[in-house]
Amino acid sequence: TVRIWDYTQDACINVLSGHTAPVRGLMWNPEIPYLLISGSWDYTIRVWDTRDGTCLDTVYDHGADVYGLTCHPSRPFTMASCSRDSTVRLWSLTPLINPLQINILADRCWDEIIGNTDRAVESGAPPLLCGKVSRDIKQEVEKLTGNPRGKKLRWFSECFSPPGGSKNLWDLVAVIKGQDDSLLPQNYCKGIMHMKHLIRFRMSKAQELTTVKMSKFGGGIGAPSKEERLKEAAEIHLRLGQIQRYCELMVELGEWDKALSVAPGVSMKYWRKLMQRRADQLIQEENDDVIPYCIAIGDVKKLVSFFTSRGQLKEALLVAQAACEGNIQVSPLSTSGPSNSGGNNTDDYNELLHKVSKELAEWYFQDGHAVLAACCHLAVENIELAMANLIRGNELELAISVGTVLGESAAQATHYALELLARKCMTVTTWDLAADLLMMIPDNKLQLVKLCAFYPGCIAEINDLHEKCNLPDVEECMRLAETIQADGDIFEIIKYYLLSTEPEKALPIGIQYVKEQLCGSDWTLDSVCPYLDLLSYIRTERLVLHKCSEFRNELLILCGYIGALLAIRRQYNSIVPALYEYTSQLLKRREVSVPLKIEQLSEELDAWRACTQLNRPTDELPCTPPSEAQRMVYSILVSRIQEEPLKGMVGPDYVTGSNLPSHSDVHISCLTGLRIQGPVFFLEDGKSAVSLNDALMWAKVNPFSPLGTGIRLNPF
């Protein structure tokens, strides 16, 4: 047990029970006064609300006794634990105080963000910041003149975020917004720098290093007689003025430096050709000596390719940026390489810079570092991909903060992140926060309709939310639905029925419309998705009613099938088979009347696998080319799927910690049958588990749980 004592009363005021072995580590959170973290020899870490003794979370990741806990000095919601399993692990506590972050994003008053200890420890009170870090931020914000929101978002974002690139990200945002370079921190040059600073800072570093001069000497031993004869022949050719023959013999002897030193005597064209031959040889040997050769002849692409092949992406980025700034010149006598036109060179190198930056970002992203991946994109001012990486890494609060500061250039992605974060807030206690978030989106009427449709309160509470969202009350919505039904605007009918006292009336109308669309030959995702998405926001307690079972089953099947197509569009390859299998199982087990057949689903899945394997060849198994029938099926799929409107969102999600060692308890994914690596997400039965990455991707394309219960999935 852990006991809480009040020394003013000389009494134990609470006993925290749950650990099954001695408790070795304790830590109070410096900002939330009732938050206590304990580490035990039972291998677990527990987070407690000491006001009522509730255990808020239990972490099982350590594989042995937990010995010590500590908190980051300037990031109070980042803690570290150490264990007899020989690991030190870093944890983020921000999910436990999520409403606070949203209060800051929604620009609510200070009283809803910062308070005193007496207010914070009152039973049932929402979380309030009471520590030194938050008080210092408030004081600094109040000193600012003009609009302080950007600084406020940055400072609180850095307070909540764990170390791992958030400070670097905000430095890049400041550069893009035009902040004076003199205000950049000293350690800025140690992270991912904006492209306009990369050369300047590295040049400064080089000047520092030149204070120590270094020389490189080389020597050799007596050469074999054959080499001596070749050397003698070469010397004769040189004296006869046959410079090219001399150079070729020197190359044969491996004395490239001597050959290259006299090659210009033949021609600059010959010297360049010889330099390229030497560079090619060194690249084959993976020798760093290739660098000066490529620089001398201006073969930037070859050098960037060399660095990229070795995984030295930061070096590749530096070379590409130097070329963009004109520091690497192409010889005017060259007959190969980029065009001699300066404008074309700049375009080529700029394209190369963005390509390398994208590769570096992808490396960080797949390693579970979405924030650093976003830094790579911001460094070359690719705001769209920077925002996309934050969203695909589920860094929603950070994405919204950064997007708000960047403004119009990040607006589309910011609005999408606001929608996802609002879905996260669609729980019992945070509906008003969800409404506040959606109100930050300019064209928000449909999003507010979905929020109000899903709200599970009593009639009076629902009407209050309708009023806040500027929507008619439930009785008026019922009248509007019945009136519009005579006109035949299906989408509006569905909308107002969902907002009414009888939302289940929307189901037969919407489902029948979608089924009619699927019976045609020219339907697309964009023609049916809006209707299914809207229907999916019917209140859960109405959807699970027995009288709705037939419509519920049809809705789940249609959402599963359309979700599979959306997953193909977004390249969520790990869950495409699972979505098809989910839909097939529902078709087998439930009596429904939908224009889908199990055989059709099987054909589509096989066609997708056959046609997309061409892009992913492996050494283990040779690729079997798709049949003509499979090509036909896949081409129909592609015509229906069309392009993803948010292009940066294409590709799988990777949250922080995706590549960390597996959980100490082995969890098998109910979607893939494989052991889960990284964060685990448990479904509503409390037993079935999927990886958090798969749960996020599933929820973005199919809102309903993989268990087929009709309950919405909320892994955000």
* 406/383 Cα distance (integer angstroms): 9
Which tens digits make up the pLDDT trace of 64-121? 999 999 999 889 999 999 999 888 999 888 888 888 888 888 888 888 899 888 888 8
243 and 265 Cβ atoms separated by less than 8 Å: yes
Whether the pLDDT of residue 517 is over 70: the answer is: yes
Q: Does the predicted TM-score (pTM) go above 0.85?
A: no
Q: Please give the DSSP secondary-structure letter assigned to residue 368.
A: T
Give the pLDDT of residue 343: 44
Q: Which long-range contacts (C-beta less than 8 Å, at least 24 apart) are formed by 66-70?
A: 66/24, 66/25, 66/39, 66/40, 66/41, 67/24, 67/25, 67/39, 68/24, 68/25, 68/39, 69/25, 69/26, 69/27, 69/37, 69/38, 69/39, 69/45, 70/27
H runs (alpha helix) in 183-224: 195-209
- 599 band by pLDDT with thresholds 50, 70 and 90: very high
For tokens 């049958």, the residue is: 673
Q: Which pair of structure tokens corresponds to residue 505?
A: 């009336």
Asked if residue 683 lies in contact with residue 667, where contact means CB atoms within 8 angstroms, the answer is: no
Over residues 440-449, the pLDDT tens digits come to 999 889 999 9
Task: Tell me the pLDDT band of 401, cut-offs 50, 70 and 90.
Answer: very high
Asked if pLDDT for residue 123 goes beyond 90, the answer is: no
Q: What's 497-544 look like in SS3?
A: HHCCCCHHHHHHHHHHHHHHHHHCCCCCHHHHHHHHHHHCCCCHHHHC
Between 340 and 420, the more confident residue is 420
pLDDT band at 339 (very low <50, low <70, confident <90, very high): very low
Give φ, ψ of 162 to 5 degrees. Answer: -75, 160
* Residue 626 identity: P
Average pLDDT for the chain: 84
Helix (H, G, I), strand (E, B) or coil at 350: helix
pLDDT of residue 246: 85
- Cβ burial 210-222 (10 Å sphere, 16+ → b, else e): eeeeeeeeeeeee
Q: Which residue has the higher pLDDT, 203 or 523?
A: 523
Over residues 634-640, the mean pLDDT reads: 91
Residue 604: closest CA among 639, 552, 570: 639
For residue 607, give every residue at least 6 positions away whose Cβ sits within 8 Å of its Cβ, in sequence order, or none.
626, 629, 630, 631, 633, 634, 637
Q: What's the pLDDT score for residue 225?
A: 54
pLDDT-based confidence at residue 21 (cuts at 50, 70, 90)? very high
Q: Once rounded to an integer, what is the mean pLDDT over residues 23-38?
A: 92
Which residues, in sequence order, are bridge partners of residue 83? 66
- Share above pLDDT 90 across residues of the chain, in percent, rounded to a whole number: 29
pLDDT at residue 221, rounded to an integer: 45
pLDDT at 66 (0 to 100): 92
**Domain layout of the chain by residue ranges:** 2-95
